[in-house]
């Protein structure tokens, strides 16, 4: 009996050691698989499956142009990119800051204010949003009915004027242009309307004029011109010089004769539209996006496509570039 018992114990010990060895092998295999899986997940995390590109109101320039650009990014990088309508520049920067989107159209002046923590971002500087590249001039258009009697910025005093959403790029442009002319928002009856509402209000006679900051021709203004004689309020050259001196991100601009049926050129100012990106995207992803956009501009049918060039992609940018964009522009010979 003792021999049988000892033999049984010995066999049990051998079996236990065998099972332990198998179990160890199984755990090692799982660890290896998990490690490989983690590595794959890291790569997947670097290249997201989806991206959101914030644009602007559906009646402006950002939204239709953004739709075409989103398609290029999708086709060229394999990352599904969707253009989303929004309240434009200032709200777009905040949404990027809060991780609600990855790409956004903004004005160069707005992002400069955001990084510095002034104007709409007073005391709340943004430090996780970077530049991808500039796109085209955005003209400040002070739109009115040709029969309104408004012939200068000073004539806006006491009038009902749409100035865009509070904190938006258009709102800040309106505020600064009024300031240069010795006026404030308190001197007008300010209305916070989007472009479509603004032109609809002019057509209906509910408002007298509207500040619209967008590439020309702007769809909403063209729509107004189909039913109403449009006038664009000019900005005098000395005021343009004064504005540019105080706020260097502005530049003199001209709305040419024939646009909206205008009978002569109108002098005004412009800022630049650009793409901003959150710093959470990897260098490789942003490099691919930047390359996709600036090397496929021939696929953009929107009128502003002709202004989008890699050679001018750094114009007006006064904030840090994303490392991925910087890498692309260095390879293109535009940065040292």
Total structural domains within the chain:
2
Q: Is the pTM for the entire model greater than 0.75?
A: no
85 and 61: one domain? yes
- The yes-or-no verdict on residue 306 having pLDDT over 50 is yes
Q: What is the pLDDT of residues 8-48, one digit of tens each?
A: 434 444 444 444 444 443 333 333 333 333 434 444 457 89
In contact, 203 and 229? CB cutoff 8 Å: no
Shared domain check, 297 and 244? no
Q: Which among 221, 236, 271 is the end of a domain?
A: 271
The DSSP output letter for 281 is S
Q: Is the pLDDT of residue 147 over 70?
A: yes
Residue 158 has a pLDDT of 98
Is the domain of 97 the same as that of 146? no
- Alpha-carbon distance of 242 to 238, in angstroms, equals 6
Check which CATH number belongs to the domain holding 182 and give it: 3.40.190.10
Where among 271, 299, 318 does a domain terminate? 271
pLDDT in tens, 307-318: 999 999 998 888
Rounded to a whole number of angstroms, the CA Rg of the chain reads: 28
Which of 244, 271, 298 is at the close of a domain?
Answer: 271
Q: Provide DSSP, 48-82.
A: -SEEEEE---TTSSHHHHHHHHHHHHHHHHS-EEE
Asked if residue 252 and residue 283 are part of one domain, the reply reads no
Q: What is the predicted pLDDT for the residue at 297?
A: 96
- Same domain? For 243 and 266 the reply is yes
125 assigned to some structural domain: yes
The predicted structure's pLDDT at residue 21:
44
CA dist 180 and 221 (Å) reads 25
Three-class DSSP category at 199: helix
19 is a domain residue: no
Has residue 202 got a pLDDT over 90? yes
Q: Would you place residue 61 in the very low, low, confident or very high pLDDT band (cuts 50, 70, 90)?
A: confident
Do 118 and 148 share a structural domain? no
Residue 32 is assigned to a structural domain of this protein: no
**pLDDT score, position 296:** 97
Range of the domain at 56: 50-135+274-331
In a domain, 18, yes or no: no
């Amino acid at each position: 009996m003792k021999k049988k018992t000892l033999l049984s114990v010995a066999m049990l010990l051998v079996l236990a050691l065998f099972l332990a060895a198998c179990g160890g092998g199984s755990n090692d295999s799982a660890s290896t698989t998990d490690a490989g899986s983690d590595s794959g997940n890291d790569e997947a995390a670097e290249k997201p499956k989806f991206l959101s590109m914030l644009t602007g109101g559906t009646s402006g320039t950002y939204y239709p142009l953004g739709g075409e650009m989103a398609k290029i990014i999708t086709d060229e990088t394999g990352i599904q990119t969707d253009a989303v309508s929004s309240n434009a520049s200032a709200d777009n920067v905040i949404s990027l800051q809060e991780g609600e989107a990855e790409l956004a159209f903004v004005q160069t002046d707005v992002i400069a204010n955001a990084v510095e923590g002034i104007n709409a971002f007073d005391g709340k500087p943004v430090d996780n949003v970077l530049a991808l590249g500039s796109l085209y001039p955005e003209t400040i258009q002070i739109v009115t009915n040709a029969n309104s009697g408004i012939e200068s910025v000073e004539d806006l005093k006491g009038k009902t004027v749409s100035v865009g959403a509070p904190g938006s790029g258009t709102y800040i442009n309106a505020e600064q242009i009024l300031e240069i002319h010795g006026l404030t928002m308190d001197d007008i009856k300010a209305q916070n309307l989007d472009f479509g509402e603004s032109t609809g209000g002019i057509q209906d006679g509910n408002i007298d004029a509207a500040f619209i900051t967008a590439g020309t021709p702007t769809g909403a203004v063209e729509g107004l011109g189909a039913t109403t004689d449009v006038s664009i309020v000019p900005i005098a050259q000395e005021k343009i010089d004064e504005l540019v001196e105080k706020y260097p991100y502005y530049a003199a601009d001209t709305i040419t004769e024939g646009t909206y049926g205008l009978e002569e050129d109108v002098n005004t100012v412009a800022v630049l539209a650009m793409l901003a990106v959150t710093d959470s995207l990897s260098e490789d992803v942003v490099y691919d996006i930047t390359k996709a956009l600036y090397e496929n501009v021939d696929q953009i049918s929107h009128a502003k496509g002709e202004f989008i060039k890699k050679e001018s992609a750094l114009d007006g940018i006064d904030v840090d570039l994303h490392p991925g964009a910087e890498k692309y522009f260095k390879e293109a010979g535009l940065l040292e």
